[in-house]
Amino acid sequence: MQQTYKFVTAEEAASYVNNGDIIGFSGFTPAGCPKEVPTAIAKRAEAFHAEGKEFKVGMYTGASTGDSLDGALARANAILFRTPYQSNKDLRSALNDERAPYFDMHLSSIAPHLRFGFMPKPKFAIIEVCDITADGELVLTTGVGISPTICNLADHIIVELNHNHPKELRGFHDIFEPLDPPHRLPMTLLTPSDRMGSTVVKVDPKKILCVVETWRDDEVGGFTPTDEVTDKIGQNVANFLASEIKSGRIPEEFLPIQSGVGNIANAVMASLGTNPDIPTFEMYTEVIQDSVIELLRNGKIKFASGCSLTITTPILKELYKDLEFFRDKLVLRPQEMSNSPELARRLGLITINTALEADIFGNVNSTHVMGSKMMNGIGGSADFTRSAYISIFTTPSTAKKGNISAIVPMVSHVDQNEHSVNIIITEHGVADLRGKSPIQRAEEIIENCVDPAYQQILRDYLALSGPCHTPTDLHACFGMHTEFMKTGSMLGTNWENYK
Amino acid sequence: MQQTYKFVTAEEAASYVNNGDIIGFSGFTPAGCPKEVPTAIAKRAEAFHAEGKEFKVGMYTGASTGDSLDGALARANAILFRTPYQSNKDLRSALNDERAPYFDMHLSSIAPHLRFGFMPKPKFAIIEVCDITADGELVLTTGVGISPTICNLADHIIVELNHNHPKELRGFHDIFEPLDPPHRLPMTLLTPSDRMGSTVVKVDPKKILCVVETWRDDEVGGFTPTDEVTDKIGQNVANFLASEIKSGRIPEEFLPIQSGVGNIANAVMASLGTNPDIPTFEMYTEVIQDSVIELLRNGKIKFASGCSLTITTPILKELYKDLEFFRDKLVLRPQEMSNSPELARRLGLITINTALEADIFGNVNSTHVMGSKMMNGIGGSADFTRSAYISIFTTPSTAKKGNISAIVPMVSHVDQNEHSVNIIITEHGVADLRGKSPIQRAEEIIENCVDPAYQQILRDYLALSGPCHTPTDLHACFGMHTEFMKTGSMLGTNWENYK
């Protein structure tokens, strides 16, 4: 079947790509990203640069990618622009050094914005698949991302056929691309396990420029093990949700969970998995991590819908051995579906994401260190938060050995605002912000969530302002941040300097 | 028919309400709010206070209300808490003096959050109607707001039967309340003129405590006439949209318009109405203002869906004379539908809202003056912005005779963040933020939208930071605000003071 396509080396595939070209890449997180061709493009860029020639490409991805993609192209200084999310060390350096213009956007919006023409259309789509048919059926691997859209929009498709993923992944995907307004129809899902699309991405075979074979694993990093702080955060989340069920504010049949990425998210999943007051549940989320697979195996999670299987290689290999067990328990969808505000609000998601910092009024910074430096990006956190049934943000109360309070008078960048954040949880406790005025919220957060070393500093900040709706001192509001930048610790913050 | 109900005076109706009770009010903006009973409750509160007794009530509304509701209760110091939006002078004073705890929330969320139990349930619903039947059919008047939900949740309903609104308004409403997760179904609208609900709010007649008759008009204020600046903003919006159609980024059949409230919104509607390159269009919005009625009459607007007819009395009386002309051109819905993110994204709304201030990176402050003082509230602006096809914010480039630049290094409160704001328009021009990095956005905004007197100040601010993703100086970012607070003008801002 596949012989109708032109099989080439990664270098030959990369040779089609020229300076200024725009590329859309498959995958979501390192899961499902192409690996061989991006690295070959980076080498091609380096060769051009060595000859003193320009070589940069525009890059659209689903979310973050593997090091062989973002890392290789960033190190080659080959990035014309990059959107919508990243988490690679070298790319992070590049965009904070102003070597790579980066547009940090909501993950649900990139595919439609590309179709609408809000950003230039990609010339190439580079897509990892586990199978390809002669009539243009692409079976994706572990991440869907924006693959359907870039396959439709691109002039040329370069396929990476990855033999490390079984062809039997056919059936695990639910590929749907909505019509654009004014012709858009409702998304029909009523539960996380419903389906509304195809199992494959269907393309015109003539658009497939070439196929590169590979046997490389997804570059999914392991997570730091949970510790006392993250365990306590996880327990606080589980106990809070159990008490909400008891009070009737969350229905007793429970609601689907969306959970972010990382070691706090893993601790939260572990606590939900073991807390006897949490019923069995479903996930409707972006990223399906190792911890979800374990809970699907033991039955605590009934079903998981996501955009990617971001699973470490040993766990993924075990999953592939039991593929039939998981066939009715997992589905992977484009991020336009997995992160859809329509579906988040209809399904009634309980959303659990991580804050980089939060302020005493409930605003959350998800992206910027000290207001200036991009960490990763907003990802899907606001897609979910904004339309959640109930939105939760977690964070350890301090960072840098206690020298940073994660809770400050004003966040140095706002990614989720007070209007959309319902609950903040640290290892110290839970702040319930629903229905509270800014001053009431500040008291709730300071008393329940802030590290004891910082409580009085924040109480004193509040007292700087006279009567008003939201006590904000525009001289002093970043006093904790600037103290840290000067001394390496927020602990010495002295409001007398601002009076 | 109505004789089965107990007809009483406003004072008698108010006598059922006691200290600590929680009340939900009908209406949205002054349109459709009760008037007699709230004023009588305020008088009752004053009488209690005169005797040294406590008397305060919790208040849920659709949005802002008339002076006989928010104004009367604020002046009587009778507010236990208040949500989700207000625009009354005396209430604004009360909440900024910390005499009335105010929870500023997204308007699409209040009804579901009340049903979920996230805030205490109302004991009373006070509902203005133009007709009531013996079997409990309430025909609402000019505003829907949260009436269906508070009628369902309240123990008792007090009806204000307003004879100034014709009973023939029956048929102008589309009353639908979704099931709650996990049982929620899709909202089925495919165009603004589709319907999915009932023409009346149906209640158990036994819950109707009493009926108060009234002949009072809605307390809709007139708008300041448009001026050179607002006219230019309106033209810039219309020209921008016309060019987007031409480029194919907005489909040639155009898309439904959501437009905010006030004199800029009126100027925008006037420009859309007269620009020959803007096709006839539909509205899917919150508030239908005078300008929309005129454009429905002349055919430029084909259909308008909203939550309220916030129309000045003379225009409303003219509309009532031609009710049959408007019957197939207007529909009023609960704010859970009019502001639904599901529908905003499906219908592909072009959203046009007003910024109080914006920053050079595209964050928008919709609510707070100098970070502390609440102006009105976020209203529905983020409901629409977040799920828009394309989101636009308008603002005059300066305020206070040029002493305030509406564009600053960092907004003093973030209600809409950089990730959700696509376009900023002032009288000077249009900044298109789509696909641009923070530095690129800053250059676009400074060169196209900022008043010439402030361009160099903002260019110099940008230059304060070394290389980074989002140039932010946490010492200096509110330098323009604090200069204004000190001197009454931002013009003297001197960044040398921050080096």
Extents of the domains making up chain A = 10-214, 228-288+349-487
Model confidence band, residue A1 (pLDDT cutoffs 50, 70, 90):
very low
Please tell me which of the candidates B101, B470, B481 has its beta carbon nearest to residue A368.
Answer: B470
Separation of CA B493 from chain center: 34
Q: Residue A266 pLDDT > 50, yes or no? A: yes
Q: What DSSP string runs through B86-140?
A: ---HHHHHHHHTTSS-B----TTTHHHHHHHTSSPPPSEEEEEEEEE-TT-EEEE
Q: Residue A3 pLDDT > 70, yes or no? A: no
User: A21: helix, coil or strand?
Assistant: coil
- The predicted pLDDT at position B100 comes to 96
Give the amino acid at A219: E
Asked if omega into A84 is within 30° of 0 (cis), the reply is yes
Put simply, the answer to whether B256 touches A348 (Cβ < 8 Å) is no
In angstroms, the separation between the Cα of residue A12 and the nearest Cα of chain B is 30
Put simply, the answer to whether A386 touches B185 (Cβ < 8 Å) is no
Q: Could you tell me if B376 and B418 are in contact, meaning their C-beta atoms sit under 8 angstroms apart? A: no
Which residues of chain B make contact with A387, given a CB cutoff of 8 A? 341
Find, in chain A, the residue whose alpha carbon is nearest to that of B374: A469
- The predicted pLDDT at position B3 comes to 54
Interface subset of B 76-105, CB within 8 angstroms of A: 81, 83, 95-98, 101-105
Is B444 in the active site?
A: no
C-alpha–C-alpha distance, residues B363 and B416, integer Å: 6
For residues A89-103, average pLDDT: 97
Interface subset of A 281-320, CB within 8 angstroms of B: none
Model confidence band, residue A386 (pLDDT cutoffs 50, 70, 90):
very high
Phi, psi dihedrals of residue A132, rounded to the nearest 5°: -145, 135
Q: What DSSP string runs through A39-76?
A: HHHHHHHHHHHHTT----EEEE-SS---IIIIIHHHHT
For residues A427-436, average pLDDT: 98
Which residues of chain A make contact with B247, given a CB cutoff of 8 A? 117
Please tell me which of the candidates B249, B348, B482 has its beta carbon nearest to residue A475.
Answer: B482
The reply to whether B10-214 and B228-288+349-487 are identical in fold is: yes
Cβ contacts of A52 within 8 Å, gap of 6 or more: none
- Average pLDDT of the residues of chain A: 97
Put simply, the answer to whether B415 touches A417 (Cβ < 8 Å) is yes
User: A209: helix, coil or strand?
Assistant: strand
**How many residues would you count in chain B?**
499
Of A128, A219, A286, A357, catalytic = A286
For CA atoms A146, A148, A152, A156, the dihedral sign is positive
Put simply, the answer to whether A437 touches B413 (Cβ < 8 Å) is no
Phi, psi dihedrals of residue B161, rounded to the nearest 5°: -90, 110
Q: Which residue in B10, B397, B77 sits closest to B212, CA to CA?
A: B10
Interface subset of B 446-475, CB within 8 angstroms of A: 465, 467-472, 474-475
Please tell me which of the candidates A117, A341, A418 has its beta carbon nearest to residue B248.
Answer: A117
For residues A288-308, average pLDDT: 97
Supply the pTM of this predicted model: 0.97
- The owner of tokens 């030959």 is A12
C-alpha–C-alpha distance, residues A232 and A267, integer Å: 8
The angle at the Cα of A494, spanning A491 to A496, to the nearest 5 degrees, equals: 170
Which of A122-136, A222-236, A316-330, A342-356 shows the lowest mean pLDDT across its residues? A222-236
Q: What is the rounded radius of gyration, in angstroms, for the C-alpha atoms of chain A?
A: 23
Q: Which residues of chain B have pLDDT under 70?
A: 1-3
In tens, the pLDDT along B97-122 reads 999 999 999 999 999 999 999 999 99
Q: Residue A78 pLDDT > 90, yes or no? A: yes
Separation of CA B322 from chain center: 27
- The owner of tokens 């100034």 is B164
In tens, the pLDDT along A14-44 reads 999 999 999 999 999 999 999 999 999 999 9
The angle at the Cα of B255, spanning B252 to B256, to the nearest 5 degrees, equals: 155
Interface subset of B 220-249, CB within 8 angstroms of A: 247-249
The CATH label, of 3.40.1080.20, 3.40.50.11540, 3.40.50.300, 3.30.360.30, for the domain at B228-288+349-487 is 3.40.1080.20
In angstroms, the separation between the Cα of residue B147 and the nearest Cα of chain A is 19
In angstroms, the separation between the Cα of residue A190 and the nearest Cα of chain B is 7
Find, in chain A, the residue whose alpha carbon is nearest to that of B421: A105
Model confidence band, residue A222 (pLDDT cutoffs 50, 70, 90):
confident
- The predicted pLDDT at position A261 comes to 86
Domain at B10-214: CATH architecture: 3-Layer(aba) Sandwich (3.40)
Put simply, the answer to whether A414 touches B417 (Cβ < 8 Å) is yes
Which residues of chain B make contact with A437, given a CB cutoff of 8 A? 81, 95, 101-103
Cβ contacts of B378 within 8 Å, gap of 6 or more: A419, B85, B104, B105, B106, B366, B367, B415
Please tell me which of the candidates B342, B390, B470 has its beta carbon nearest to residue A341.
Answer: B342
Interface subset of A 166-195, CB within 8 angstroms of B: 180-182, 184-188, 190-191
Find, in chain B, the residue whose alpha carbon is nearest to that of A281: B182
**How many CB atoms are located within 10 Å of the residue B499 CB?**
9
Q: Which residue in B221, B60, B209, B32 sits closest to B130, CA to CA?
A: B32
Q: Could you tell me if B481 and B399 are in contact, meaning their C-beta atoms sit under 8 angstroms apart? A: no
Interface subset of B 416-445, CB within 8 angstroms of A: 417-420, 422, 434-437, 439-440
Query: What count of CB pairs under 8 Å joins A to B?
Result: 238
A496 touches chain B (CB under 8 A): no
User: A28: helix, coil or strand?
Assistant: strand
Q: Residue A250 pLDDT > 70, yes or no? A: yes
In angstroms, the first-to-last Cα distance of chain B is 77
Put simply, the answer to whether B472 touches A371 (Cβ < 8 Å) is yes
Mutation target vs B (from A359, A468, A486; most B CBs, 10 A cutoff): A468
Please tell me which of the candidates B191, B467, B482 has its beta carbon nearest to residue A97.
Answer: B467
Q: Could you tell me if A81 and A46 are in contact, meaning their C-beta atoms sit under 8 angstroms apart? A: no
The angle at the Cα of A192, spanning B191 to A295, to the nearest 5 degrees, equals: 160
CA A387 vs CA A48, B3, B37, B235, B340: distances in Å: 46, 44, 35, 33, 10
C-alpha–C-alpha distance, residues B134 and B145, integer Å: 23
